């Protein structure tokens, strides 16, 4: 890191700038964010507990709020919005690559990663592979050579990561 042009001090060219705030995207950024958030939540009277009134799931800047009582959501949202700029996206439909579907009549919640898996398959050129509804038997083993049918298959697969 070098001193920014115009800020260089003669005789102290080896000095560098010290960041007093974390920058989004740096690998160190989540730690100061977590410390700030943790201090704020404790200051609001929340504690870490096995017995919950509100589950607050935080991953960097994505957050889910899951309370026992829905009235607690608006209280927590107003506290959070006074501390930090935030966007309320409504009921969660997706987080961290997981799709969330609710069946309120049955009182069930479904999580799915099917789109993520489709993306992984497409990355490895296997988007049109033959699907199986059940896993292979425990004794079944795949080995690279026994799966390839011909020289053409071997050549084709040599370009797949």
pTM attached to this predicted model:
0.47
Between 77 and 158, residue with greater pLDDT? 77
Q: Is the pLDDT of residue 148 over 70?
A: no
Which residues are CB-neighbours of 80 under 8 A, at least 6 positions away? 86
Q: Is the pLDDT of residue 154 over 80?
A: no
Contact 41, 49 (CB under 8 A): no
Q: Tell me the per-residue pLDDT of 9-45, one tens digit each, with 9 for 90 and over.
A: 778 777 776 766 666 666 777 777 788 888 998 898 8
Beta bridge partners of 100: 111
> If you average pLDDT over residues 106-110, what whole number do you get?
87
pLDDT value of position 43? 92
pLDDT value of position 99? 92
Q: Tell me the per-residue pLDDT of 121-134, one tens digit each, with 9 for 90 and over.
A: 999 988 888 877 77
Beta bridge partners of 99: 94, 112
Average pLDDT in the chain = 79
pLDDT tier for residue 161 given thresholds of 50, 70 and 90: low
Q: Tell me the per-residue pLDDT of 40-92, one tens digit each, with 9 for 90 and over.
A: 988 988 887 766 788 888 877 788 888 888 888 888 888 888 888 888 888 88
Contact 95, 109 (CB under 8 A): no
Q: Which two tokens stand for residue 88?
A: 């309320």
For residue 124, the SS3 value is coil
Contact 56, 76 (CB under 8 A): yes
Least confident of 97-106, 116-125, 138-147: 138-147
Q: Is the pLDDT of residue 146 over 60?
A: no
- Long-range CB contact pairs, 21-29, < 8 A, 24+: 29/60
């Amino acid at each position: 890191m070098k001193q920014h042009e115009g800020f260089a001090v003669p005789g102290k060219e080896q000095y560098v700038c010290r960041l007093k705030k974390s920058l989004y995207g740096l690998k160190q950024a989540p730690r100061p964010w977590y410390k700030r958030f943790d201090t704020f939540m404790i200051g609001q009277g929340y504690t870490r507990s096995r017995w919950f009134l509100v589950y607050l799931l935080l991953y960097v800047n994505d957050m889910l709020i899951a309370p026992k009582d829905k009235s607690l959501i608006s209280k927590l949202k107003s506290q959070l919005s006074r501390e930090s700029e935030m966007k309320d996206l409504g009921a969660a439909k997706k987080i961290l690559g997981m799709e969330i579907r609710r069946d309120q009549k049955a009182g069930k919640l479904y999580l799915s990663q099917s789109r993520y898996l489709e993306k992984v398959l497409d990355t490895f050129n296997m988007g049109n592979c033959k699907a199986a509804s059940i896993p292979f038997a425990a004794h079944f083993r795949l080995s690279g050579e026994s799966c390839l049918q011909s020289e053409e298959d071997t050549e084709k697969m040599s370009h797949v990561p």
